């Protein structure tokens, strides 16, 4: 099937990356597990090795699995289709994808990054640690333009933010960035609810482990961007080896087919839980974009995560749930609850956590596909008994 912009997002999610299956005479996507491939024409392959090392994707034999994998390439082309990007480059994890973005810009002589908190705790730690030789300046959204320097290679934001679910005006930020690429972590929204490239961003990053995979059984990361930036990312991937396993690529491509259905179903339940939490006497505050009166309007809905502040001991609430799973991560078919200050954002300095609204009484729930009444019965009982 040849996809066109006239096809709906749901149709493209099902068929992207699968356009040649009819010609192959198969219905399910094949998985290529080869680590190496025959290279009879050594002289010809030498030239192709140089192309791979430069970040290109020449046709023909992949030569070696670190250079290219056909199954992973299917997932990349599908994600690029859904984000409206020229290209996508997949990695072994979301943090490997973020690292590659920083390394690629540093290799071009741009080691300075402007970032807006809150970000995922791992991203915050990576930027602030200097492990990759990056210098970071933290800014408020409206102060980004003032912090950009000649050696600024990226502006990094997350919207909705992890874990407070704060939305940013991506179009305004992109305008403030000027020629500096704006990288948006779109893990929480997914391309179902938000496509940052349409708002002027240059780079879109996903922890594919989350909603894209959708079942808590695959680890991966992916970056959607223009072909020029993609070449730099592939250079990093070839050199460092942070490749996505082909079985993971297969599972992520399969996850994309049901992504719109899963996200919208989970979003409907999340909105209902947010409303009920707002009325509970032991909940001090609820953070959910769908309840906000004045919002930038980036997402098509409020998303599938809810954050709330407990009037009491948040740890006891986590310990009291029975149906909901106490665990980090998000975007799975089952509902998860976690305490960000103890887990996902523990590597962020306490003062920075507090400044970003990540207090000791904040909990984050990733809503799954269970019946919303069952989820509320479990959550409200945990709040009452804790």
Q: Domain segments of the chain: what residues? A: 9-257, 260-385
CATH 3.40.640.10 fits 9-257, yes or no: yes
Q: Quote the CA–CA distance of 93 and 76 in Å, as a whole number.
A: 14
* pLDDT at position 1: 72
Catalytic annotation present for 120: yes
Catalytic annotation present for 288: no
Burial class (CB in 10 A: 0-12, 13-18, 19+), 26: exposed
Tens-digit pLDDT profile for residues 343-378 = 889 988 888 888 888 889 999 999 999 999 999 999
Q: Quote the CA–CA distance of 207 and 329 in Å, as a whole number.
A: 10
Catalytic annotation present for 185: yes
Structure tokens at 32: 């290529």
Q: Which of 66, 231, 295, 381 is catalytic?
A: 66
Q: Is the pLDDT of residue 386 over 90?
A: no
* pLDDT at position 349: 87
What's the whole-model pTM score? 0.96
Catalytic annotation present for 300: no
At 34, is the pLDDT very low, low, confident or very high (cuts 50, 70, 90)?
A: very high
Give which of 252, 218, 232, 221 is closest to 122, Cα–Cα: 221
Q: Which of 32, 124, 176, 185 is catalytic?
A: 185
Q: Which of 12, 74, 117, 120 is catalytic?
A: 120
Q: In sequence order, which residues have a C-beta less than 8 Å from that of residue 6 and are 6 or more positions away?
A: none
Q: Which of 117, 210, 234, 353 is catalytic?
A: 210
Say how many C-beta atoms besides its own lie within 10 A of residue 361's C-beta.
Answer: 18
What CATH number belongs to 260-385? 3.90.1150.10
């Amino acid at each position: 099937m040849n996809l066109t912009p006239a096809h709906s997002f749901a149709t493209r999610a099902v068929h992207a990356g699968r356009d040649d299956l009819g010609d192959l005479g198969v219905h399910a996507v094949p998985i290529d597990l080869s680590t190496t491939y025959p290279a009879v024409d050594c002289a010809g392959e030498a030239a192709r090795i140089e192309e791979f090392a430069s970040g290109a994707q020449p046709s023909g034999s992949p030569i070696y699995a670190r250079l290219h994998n056909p199954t992973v390439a299917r997932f990349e082309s599908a994600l690029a289709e859904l984000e409206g990007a020229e290209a996508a480059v997949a990695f072994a994890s979301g943090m490997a994808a973020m690292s590659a973005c920083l390394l690629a810009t540093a290799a071009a002589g741009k080691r300075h990054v402007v970032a807006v908190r809150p970000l995922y705790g791992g991203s915050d730690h990576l930027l602030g640690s200097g492990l990759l030789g990056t210098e970071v300046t933290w800014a408020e959204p409206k102060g980004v333009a003032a912090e950009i320097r000649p050696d600024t290679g990226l502006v990094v934001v997350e919207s909705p933010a992890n874990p407070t679910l704060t939305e940013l005006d991506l179009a305004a930020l992109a305008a403030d960035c000027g020629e500096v690429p704006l990288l948006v972590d779109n893990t929480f929204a997914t391309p179902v609810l938000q496509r940052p490239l349409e708002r002027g961003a240059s780079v879109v990053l996903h922890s594919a482990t989350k909603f894209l995979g959708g079942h808590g059984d695959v680890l991966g990361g992916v970056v959607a961007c223009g072909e020029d930036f993609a070449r730099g990312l592939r250079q990093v991937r070839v050199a460092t080896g942070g490749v996505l396993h082909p079985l993971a690529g297969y599972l992520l491509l399969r996850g994309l087919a049901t992504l719109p259905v899963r996200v919208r179903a989970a979003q409907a339940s999340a909105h209902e839980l947010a409303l009920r939490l707002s009325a509970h006497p032991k909940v001090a505050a609820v953070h959910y974009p769908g309840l906000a009166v004045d919002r930038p309007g980036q997402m098509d809905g409020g998303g599938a995560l809810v954050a709330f502040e407990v009037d009491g001991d948040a740890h006891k609430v986590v310990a009291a749930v029975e149906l909901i799973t106490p665990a980090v991560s998000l975007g799975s078919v089952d509902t998860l609850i976690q305490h960000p200050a103890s887990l996902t954002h523990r590597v962020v300095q306490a003062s920075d956590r507090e400044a970003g609204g990540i207090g000791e009484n904040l909990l984050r729930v990733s809503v799954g596909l269970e019946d919303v009444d069952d989820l509320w019965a479990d959550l409200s009982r945990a709040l009452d008994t804790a």
